């Protein structure tokens, strides 16, 4: 994994360039070694999407949220009524901004994102011929598999894991009515779905911090 020089300050680039790892490479060349050595704090984003369908060739992305590990401000983008009404646009602008925002992080954390959030986002990016991050560009940690390895509970869904580890989930109910109305660009429905997504990433951060003591969150698995 190469260093994310696009978001580094000049003095940080110089410091990483001078540093050498056990493989005799600079921190810019072996960014993962640089991070492992504690030379650079890894920027983590807790990521979730909300969609109209479980398959990306039949559905679109309604919104996404990213909660940075070092900030309470949640990065997000929601589709608009105008975008939904344009065949040549639909979720293109949402996916375009999603790609820009996930590239701000060294690692994304998801819950079952290995099977859904990441491939779905990638599929929508490919549909619009947008440059999704390539292999090795961003690390990925999935709390679904962290929970499955560390715990023995009835279900490893986000709400169940959260309730087991921290006592209560922040999640709101998935009401099909809101998702149906969202397709028409209904403002209240879209606001409800965005709030639902924000609550998911807050729960995600809480269970990640709980599970971290039982497993490593710093895997070298790529997005």
Q: Which of 58, 186, 46 is nearest to 117 (CA)?
A: 46
- Domains assigned to the chain: 1-40 (no CATH), 42-214 (3.30.420.10)
Q: What is the pLDDT of residue 127?
A: 97
**Residue 23 CB coordination number (10 Å):** 8
Q: What is the pLDDT of residue 86?
A: 87
Contacts of 197 by beta carbon, 8 Å cutoff, 6+ apart: 48, 49, 50, 63, 64, 65, 76
Compute CA distances 85 → 48, 179, 184, 221, whole Å. Answer: 24, 16, 8, 38
Q: What is the pLDDT of residue 147?
A: 96
Mapped onto helix, strand or coil, the DSSP state of residue 213 is helix
Mapped onto helix, strand or coil, the DSSP state of residue 162 is helix
Residue 173 is classified by DSSP as P
Q: What is the pLDDT of residue 217?
A: 61
Q: What is the pLDDT of residue 202?
A: 98
Q: Which residues of the chain have pLDDT under 70?
A: 1, 39, 216-218
pLDDT in tens, 52-78: 999 999 999 999 999 999 899 999 999
Q: What is the pLDDT of residue 189?
A: 97
Q: What is the pLDDT of residue 218?
A: 67
Q: What is the pLDDT of residue 150?
A: 95
Q: What is the pLDDT of residue 76?
A: 98
- DSSP states along 7-71: G--HHHHHHHHH-B-TTS-BTTT-HHHHHHTTSSPPPEEEEEEEESSSSTTT--EEEEEEEETT-
């Amino acid at each position: 994994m190469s260093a994310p020089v696009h978001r580094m300050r000049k003095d940080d680039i110089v410091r990483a360039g001078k540093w050498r790892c056990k493989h005799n490479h600079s921190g810019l060349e072996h960014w993962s070694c640089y991070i492992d050595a504690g030379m650079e704090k890894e920027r983590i984003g807790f990521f979730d999407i909300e969609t109209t369908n479980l398959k990306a060739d039949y559905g679109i992305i309604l919104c996404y949220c990213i909660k940075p590990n070092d900030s309470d401000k949640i990065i997000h983008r929601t589709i608009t009524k105008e975008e939904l009404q344009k065949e040549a646009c639909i979720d293109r602008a949402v996916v375009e901004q999603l790609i820009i925002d996930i590239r701000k992080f060294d690692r994304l954390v998801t819950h079952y994102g290995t099977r859904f959030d990441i491939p779905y986002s990638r599929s929508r990016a490919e549909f619009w011929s947008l440059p999704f991050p390539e292999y090795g560009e961003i690390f990925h940690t999935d709390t679904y598999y962290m929970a499955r390895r560390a715990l023995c509970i009835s279900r490893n869904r986000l709400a169940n894991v959260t309730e087991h580890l921290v006592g209560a989930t922040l999640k709101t109910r998935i009401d099909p009515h809101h998702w149906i109305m969202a397709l028409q660009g209904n403002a209240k429905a879209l606001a409800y779905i965005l709030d639902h997504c924000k609550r998911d990433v807050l729960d995600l951060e809480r269970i990640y911090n709980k599970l971290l003591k039982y497993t490593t969150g710093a895997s070298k698995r790529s997005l």
